[in-house]
Chain A
Amino acid sequence: MSRKKAARSKGGGAAPSAALPPAAQGTGRSAAAPRGSSAAAAAPEVPRNGGAAAAGRPSLSSSGEFYDLAFKVMLVGDSGVGKTCLLVRFKDGAFLAGSFISTVGIDFRNKVLTVDGVKVKLQIWDTAGQERFRSVTHAYYRDAHALLLLYDVTNKASFDNIQAWLTEIHEYAQQDVVLMLLGNKVDSAQDRVVKREDGEKLAKEYGVPFMETSAKSGLNVELAFTAIAKELKHRSMKLPNEPKFKLHDYVKKEVRGSGCCRS
């Protein structure tokens, strides 16, 4: 059995950890474990009964990379909005036009990033967008710490479906899941049919942070994942005197525009 443990506890002995899965948290769900902890179907990394955390000793991911915290992030949205491209851009820094195949089923990749000196491993789940696959994929929602919901700014239907996705998320995901709305493919300025303002408006309506991205140019891709990682890290190991991390404000401050209208 895995001896992988979570959180190097900087805040003292409480060892607030949010390693996958939350079910493994010995003491359950404090602020440290933003997930529900029922015997989850997908229970990566840590034995369910995993009690005491070996505080101070980071874990080794299967790829051999050390990390302090681990979270599960899911990419969702209509078929063809660019979920896999976004993931590959973030993971490998690459975008190869015309080299992507449609995702069938569900898959994941890991990436470790450093957030304020803490190594955070994101286990990023990529899902098939076609509606009929949802009955296969929504079983995974409940274990997700964060969801990136994508639409394609050149495809109005994918934007119109966002509400349906939000309903689905409300039904299956944890209540405190970190959610972010992304309008992807902004590099295709010519074909854009969804204005940035429309995305902003919808996001505001639902109280969700929002940004426009381009997996092709890389615009805001790193930021989207970093922002998520920061939020999750702050939730799980907040120091007593540390100011609260505000995801909305952070995104607003860091986001880059797609062209002429914003610097």
Chain B
Amino acid sequence: MARREDGRDWAYRVDPYGFERPEDFDYASYEAFFSRYLVVLTRRAIKWSKLLKGNNSIQKSLKVKRYIRKGIPNEHRALVWMIVSGAQTNMEQNPGYYHRLLEGEKNAKLLEAIKTDINRTFPDNVKFRTTADPCLQHALYNVLVAYGHHNKAVGYCQGMNFIAGYLILITKNEEESFWLLDALIGRILPDYYSPAMLGLKTDQEVLGELVKMKVPAVAELMERHGVMWTLVVSRWFICLFIDILPVETVLRIWDCLFYEGSKIIFRVALTLIKQNQAFILEATNFPDICDKFKQITKGTFVTECHSFMQKIFTDPGSLSMATINKLRETCREKLLSQG
């Protein structure tokens, strides 16, 4: 990609998080959206300042849940994620733990696996370039190495590099990123990243079951053409929509993920599928279906993150944790019996 540093519009080629906008980025429609969204952001910022006034603590409540669903302002995002996920508490109860992990003995194989991916994490982000100062590759390496030695059962799984990368971009702090990664992998998500990836496989099947219930025509199409869910949605789960959906939308999803847990992923997936049902059903063959699933993650519907986030709580209808847990149980058993 030719980086243009000539014109005055260079700043617009890189988004606020450091990601270069693609060549075909639709500036006009993005600006139209953003000018509207700016009003929302301003209103939310005022509300949040009041909520957090003086004391940087948050108690779980319906009001906080509502606030989070409407988006955490970027200046408070790291703090709120830390608090609602329990990462803050863990960090405070284990002072120095992160640094001890980095100073301790290392597993050479683990380091090798992480090194292989450091250069391959967000090459489209200027802050991750080796020419950047500071270059976030170092922080990324540290966070992944520390986590791999903290959670030896998981170690390092591809996909974690992207998640840790986002955490570093938002918190701008290695230690906080480590504890947030721990909250996600250790508590919020089922075992997506452990070597057997059973949690991932289970949730892909659970999504299949939910689609059967809520968007049966799409489930039938997948079945008819023998498309396994893992083929079209594995990255949705493993990367938590990074590089699938626009950055701002991903962050809004993560706001809810940290507060409400992993069922948010199903809400997002179901909304994407349901909203695009007619479009997906146009597919007449296997590659077509795969292609449709790529296309439904693009365009104004997902870029307009505020209305998208409203839709995920209405479109898929009711989705209780009890339903998900029950489905998880049956799907896991089925997978285990298949060996």
Contacts and interface: CB of A to CB of B under 8 A. Distances in A.
Contacts, number: 102
Contact of A105 (B226, B235, B288): B235
Interface string A1-42: 110100000000000000010000000000000000001111
A104 B197 CA distance: 13
B291 interface: yes
B159 to A, nearest CB: 5
* Chain B binding surface, main DSSP class: loop
B285 interface: yes
Contact of A101 (B122, B228, B284, B286): B122
Contacts of B227: 42
* Chain A binding surface, main DSSP class: loop
Contacts of A175: none
Contacts of A226: none
A99 B1 contact: yes
B226 A99 contact: no
A188 B187 CA distance: 43
B117 A102 contact: yes
B209 interface: no
B186 interface: no
Contacts of B123: 98-101
B70 interface: no
Interface in B75-124: 112-113, 116-117, 119-124
B195 interface: yes
Given A43-B286, A96-B1, A101 B157 contact: no
Given A42-B228, A80-B116, A102-B121, A136 B286 contact: no
A131 interface: yes
Given A42-B228, A102-B117, A105-B238, A128 B285 contact: no
Contacts of B197: 132-133, 135-136
A44 B159 contact: no
Contacts of A40: 226
Contacts of B234: 104-106, 136
Contacts of A104: 158-159, 162, 234-235, 238-239
B222 to A, nearest CB: 11
Contacts of B122: 101
A217 interface: no
A184 interface: no
A1 B284 contact: yes
Interface of A: 1-2, 4, 20, 39-46, 48, 61-62, 79-80, 96, 98-106, 108, 110, 123, 128, 130-133, 135-136, 139, 157
Interface of B: 1, 112-113, 116-117, 119-124, 129, 157-159, 161-162, 194-197, 200-201, 224-228, 230-231, 234-235, 238-239, 243, 284-288, 290-291
